[in-house]
Amino acid sequence: MADLIEVESLSKRFGAIVAVDDVSFSVARGVVMGFLGPNGAGKSTTMRVITGYLPPTSGTARVLGKDIQRSPVEVKRSIGFLPEGAPLYGDMTVMAFLEFIARIRDVHGVRRQQRIQYSIERMGLEQVLYQRIETLSKGFKRRVGFAQAILHDPDVLILDEPTDGLDPNQKHHVRELIRELGKNKAIIISTHILEEVDAVCDRAVIIDRGRVVMNGTPSELHAKSRRYNSVVVRVKADVAPKAAKLLRGLPHVTAVESSAPVNGSVPLVVVPRDGRFIADEVGIAVRQNGIEVDEMHTQVVHLDEVFRQLTVGQEKPLR
Amino acid sequence: MKNIVIIARRELAAYFATPLAYVFIVTFLAGAGAVTFFMGDFFGRRQADLQAFFSFHPWLFLVLIPAVGMRLWAEERKSGTIELLMTLPVTTTEAVAGKFVAAWLFTGIALVLTFPIWISVNYLGDPDNGVIVASYVGSFLMAGALLALASCLSALTRNQVIAFVIAAAASFLFLMSGLDLVLGLVRSWAPSYVIDMISSLSFLTHFLTIADGVLPLPAIVFFLSMIAVCLFINAQIVELKKAS
Ligand SMILES: Nc1ncnc2c1ncn2[C@@H]1O[C@H](COP(=O)(O)OP(=O)(O)OP(=O)(O)O)[C@@H](O)[C@H]1O
Ligand SMILES: [Mg+2]
């Protein structure tokens, strides 16, 4: 399937600051791409260039095959954009604002009513329709920003931190909506919530200091973790050294990490070589050597950990 | 064109969504009324015309037009909505024009609301209504030129107060550039064609030729080209400043 969004060697400099550095990726129809990276990595800047707000310093992007610099208005027509922080015209009511967006996006006639109604329903805006936007709570503002982005049923959605500031119900709801819309659109969402990548994304691109450090599926991302497929074995404190020594000697194990005992038992994290599946091997070894095991399970890899592994470079940690 | 209308509608509604609109209109009407009937010695002159009313307009505009124009782009930048606006399928020119048209219409509404003064002079005497119509048109054109200037300058900053101050200062210079006060500063060193050029940019000189009675074409052309030039520069500034 053709790629609806193609970003090609895109760079954006602000004076001496290189915000985006030679970034390339593409997103096909039916794909939700998660865009990750630490603060200041260049996510919002990349989105601003794709949506035609900022001109690139070099490189380019195409949306539905159209170059963002050569046909900016056409590109903008096919994109729904939720900018960072969801800026909105505070002096308007929600309804007046959505009508303004529908007009300027050339959604007219019966379809205008239908699309406005659809956005209102999907974002649960019924009870705030005639309230001025500046008087809305943060989460509702975000929802109005989202409603605005999907109003014209665009082929491409670019959402900068869409679930930021939403309550857990709304987060869940918005993720479901993104999943649903993602079936026949190309969507990019930026987020700091890594479970969101597992929950909604088909692809993940991580950038750090303007450069792409990883581009793959969420499971490939998991596999990047050093602790991928690790097995946790809890044993009594007194047999822990013996068990650790035994497990370290197994052929497909690189390391065994132990931590402080909890209620007299020590969790040993058995890290495999090259992310191999080692649960069998570990199970057999402890049984054959008569080591009493309190608990054994495969370690769940948190994406946060992978994220840190990939992006904590030379940057100084916060104090 | 359609986009200009849609943006202008939104922008005009935004004016009336804040108290600023009403403060502006009341100030303008009160000021215009007071100056016409009291400061202009309306009753003493025993002459039914609106000369005092119109000659006061440039000075009212000096304060009020920057107040109307200051929010046009500064607010958009401050609240971040410029990112929303400039990623809608509109060109920068359409956005600049739409906002300007709204602000100009708004001042037009304020001007129209001075009609009781016009009715009063007709009731009290027998004024030359042709002169009055020409003066209204001239006043509206001058307001447009000052607004275009204010709009352009408001794109330079995200602070409305700064936008107001620089617009008021620039308006003052453009109004006065035909007077010796300003010309005196350059006369000593500048060649005469520079002085002629500066004085030909004077809003006041052009406005006074209109207020004399008929609508002279050069004045109309001057104000309209002033609007075009300011809005063109306005669009360039918006493009440049988006990035920072
Ligand atoms: N207008 C600007 N002028 C100068 N520098 C800028 C500008 N906009 C962004 N930057 C810089 O570009 C870099 C990338 O910023 P960007 O907002 O894209 O980061 P981000 O990945 O979205 O971060 P966050 O997770 O905090 O939202 C930062 O170093 C930022 O300071
Ligand atoms: Mg950001």
Residue A227: CB partners within 8 Å, gap ≥ 6?
A269, A271, A299, A301, A305
Give me the percent of chain B exceeding a pLDDT of 90: 43
Take residue A306 and report the two structure tokens written for it.
Answer: 């992978």
Pocket test for ligand 1, best of A10, A23, A39, A44 (most atoms within 8 A of CB): A44
Q: Can you tell me the mean pLDDT for A260-286?
A: 84
Cross-chain Cβ contact A81/B14 below 8 Å: no
CA–CA dist A76, A12 (Å, integer): 19
Strand (E) positions, chain A?
Answer: 3-14, 17-28, 31-36, 58-63, 66-67, 79-82, 156-160, 186-190, 203-208, 211-216, 231-236, 253-258, 265-272, 293-298
Residue B175's nearest CA partner among B135, B145, B203 is: B203
Question: What mean pLDDT, rounded, does chain A reach?
Answer: 89
pLDDT confidence of residue B211: 63
- At residue B131, φ and ψ (nearest 5 deg) are -60, -40
> ipTM above 0.90?
no
Residues within 8 A of A (CB atoms), B 64-123 only? 79-81, 83-84, 86-91
Residue type, A161: E
Take residue A147 and report the two structure tokens written for it.
Answer: 């409603």
Q: Whose CA is nearest to atom 29 of ligand 1?
A: A40
Helix B203-211 to helix B160-176 angle, to the nearest 10 degrees? 60
Which residue is closest to A74 within chain B, CA to CA? B89
Q: What is the DSSP letter of A318?
A: P
pLDDT confidence of residue A107: 94
Please, are residues A23 and A211 in contact by the beta-carbon 8 Å criterion?
yes
Q: What is the DSSP string of B139-154?
A: HHHHHHHHHHHHHHHH
Residue type, B120: S
**Helix (H, G, I), strand (E, B), or coil: what is residue B50?**
coil
Q: What is the largest CA-CA distance in chain B?
A: 59
**Residue A297 vs residues A182, A231, B153: alpha-carbon distances, Å:** 34, 6, 66
Task: Report the relative pairing of strands A58-63 and A66-67 from DSSP bridges.
Answer: antiparallel
Buried b (16+ CB within 10 A) or exposed e, B71-89: bbbbbbbebbbbbbbbbbb
Banded pLDDT at B41 (limits 50, 70, 90) = low
**Residue B13 vs residues B19, B24, B106, B195: alpha-carbon distances, Å:** 12, 15, 10, 42
Asked if A54 is an interface residue toward chain B (Cβ–Cβ < 8 A), one would say yes
**Helix (H, G, I), strand (E, B), or coil: what is residue A3?**
strand
Residues lining ligand 1, judged by CB closer than 6 Å? A 14, 17, 19, 37, 39-45, 84; B 243-244
Residue B242: CB partners within 8 Å, gap ≥ 6?
A53, A54, B82, B86
Asked if B3 is an interface residue toward chain A (Cβ–Cβ < 8 A), one would say yes
pLDDT confidence of residue B55: 79
Q: What is the DSSP string of B56-108?
A: HHHHHHHHHHHHHHTHHHHHHHHHSHHHHHTTSS--HHHHHHHHHHHHHHHHH
pLDDT tens by residue, A101-132: 999 999 999 999 999 999 999 999 999 999 99
Give me the percent of chain A exceeding a pLDDT of 90: 59
Cross-chain Cβ contact A88/B3 below 8 Å: no
Question: Which residues hold their Cβ within 5 A of ligand 2, which is an ion?
Answer: A 43-44, 84
Domains of chain A from N-terminus onward: 3-223 (3.40.50.300), 231-297 (3.30.70.60)
Banded pLDDT at A314 (limits 50, 70, 90) = very low
Pocket test for ligand 1, best of A7, A12, A14, A23 (most atoms within 8 A of CB): A14
| Residue A130 burial class via C-beta count within 10 angstroms: exposed 0-12, middle 13-18, buried 19 and up | exposed
Q: Can you tell me the mean pLDDT for A269-283?
A: 83
pLDDT tens by residue, B216-244: 787 888 889 999 999 999 999 999 988 76
More confident residue, B195 or A199: A199
More confident residue, A157 or A170: A157
Residue type, B156: L
Q: Can you tell me the mean pLDDT for A312-318?
A: 54
Residue A297: CB partners within 8 Å, gap ≥ 6?
A231, A232
Give me the percent of chain B exceeding a pLDDT of 70: 86
Q: How many CB pairs under 8 A join A and B?
A: 68
pLDDT confidence of residue A192: 87
Whether A278 has a pLDDT exceeding 70, the answer reads yes
pLDDT confidence of residue A263: 81
- At residue B234, φ and ψ (nearest 5 deg) are -55, -50
Strand order in the sheet with A253-258: A253-258, A265-272, A231-236, A293-298
More confident residue, B147 or A231: B147
pLDDT confidence of residue A251: 86
Residues within 8 A of B (CB atoms), A 220-249 only? none
Q: Can you tell me the mean pLDDT for A189-208?
A: 90
**Helix (H, G, I), strand (E, B), or coil: what is residue A180?**
helix
Report CA torsion sign: B59, B61, B64, B69: negative
Report CA torsion sign: A135, A138, A139, A142: positive
pLDDT tens by residue, B70-102: 999 999 999 999 999 999 999 999 999 999 999
Residue A164: CB partners within 8 Å, gap ≥ 6?
A142, A191, A192
Strand order in the sheet with A66-67: A17-28, A3-14, A58-63, A66-67
Whether B44 has a pLDDT exceeding 70, the answer reads no
Q: Count the Cβ atoms, other than its own, within 10 Å of residue A135.
A: 11
Q: In which region does residue B139 sit, left (phi positive, over 0), alpha (psi from -120 to 50) or beta (all else)?
A: alpha
Please, are residues B218 and B206 in contact by the beta-carbon 8 Å criterion?
yes
Please, are residues A274 and A225 in contact by the beta-carbon 8 Å criterion?
no
For tokens 């054994």, what's the residue?
Answer: A296
Å from CA of A37 to ligand 2 middle: 9
Asked if B235 is an interface residue toward chain A (Cβ–Cβ < 8 A), one would say no
Task: Report the relative pairing of strands A31-36 and A186-190 from DSSP bridges.
Answer: parallel
Strongest mean pLDDT among A150-154, B179-183, B195-199: A150-154
